[in-house]
Copies of this chain bind each other. A is one copy, B any other.
Amino acid sequence: MRTTTENAQLALLLEVSGTPKPGNVDRHREYEDLRFEHFVTGAVCARDGLRLAAGGAEVGESFRRAVAGMSQQSGGNTQFGALLVVTPLVRASAAHELTPEGSRNIVAETTVEDAEKFYKAFEYVDVAVDDPPEGMEPLDVRRGADAVATIRERGITLENVMERSADRDGVAAEWVDGFPRTFGAAQTILDGTGPVTDRAAEAYLDLLADEPDTFVVTKHGQETAEEVRRRAVAVRDGEEDVEAFADELVERGINPGTTADIVAGALFVALERGLEV
């Protein structure tokens, strides 16, 4: 029997091994400065943080440690978002509540300290973020220690942080809603047949076709994100070739990272629920 920590690490590795995952690094496609080997190394070194969460430690500190470990490679940000999806789910599994309701409880229990640790995690890698909405400038993660001071003054928990970002960040939306897309994709993977990495790639395409990827919105704007979504529908409907679509997105530097993050979470849930590899 694999442990929860092993399943968490395995989820990160299977996620990047699934192909084709149009626009993202996978087994067959990589960017010159962000390669498959960087994701593998990130998954190896994130393990200690994941183990903390599996042992029942706070989500914020577990996440910070996982990101600190993940950053021990030269590719930069490989799995910040994936770890942000997976860590609370690992914590929910440690509490024997790996369900939408159980993950909602874990999120509800987060504290101001968890929020501080979350902000600290941004110090290890360069994460692409959008300008904050009006009125939230003091909480901009790019303000570092200043933002942390504001968090303390206002008593903002990690749940509060996610609530404020949920409408423009697909990972934050999962946090506040009980991870609906993550649990949905996990079921798709469990119901599938054949190689797990193929099922992960199919789950990715389904998610991409369903909603515009918020990471693409942040980096390339709403219009591009909507184009990517429409074309994922076309691929799913057999009207467009998936390999050509994947090549084109890499060429244009469009990587739907949020969608990949959710697949990592879905793989973790599926593995914990007995997915055989």
Contacts and interface: CB of A to CB of B under 8 A. Distances in A.
Interface of A: 1-2, 6, 9-10, 13-14, 17, 27-28, 35-38, 40-41, 44-45, 47, 72-74, 195-197, 276-277
Given A27-B28, A35-B195, A41 B277 contact: yes
A197 B38 CA distance: 10
A163 to B, nearest CB: 34
Contacts of A195: 35, 37
A196 B37 contact: yes
A38 B28 CA distance: 17
A13 B27 CA distance: 12
Contact of A44 (B6, B28, B41, B45): B6
Name, among A45, A73, A276, the residue most crowded by chain B CB atoms within 10 Å (CB to CB).
A45
B36 A197 contact: yes
B197 A9 contact: no
A195 B2 CA distance: 31
Contacts of A276: 74
A40 to B, nearest CB: 5
Contacts of A9: 44
Given A36-B27, A74-B276, A276-B74, A45 B2 contact: yes
Contact of A28 (B13, B14, B28, B73): B28
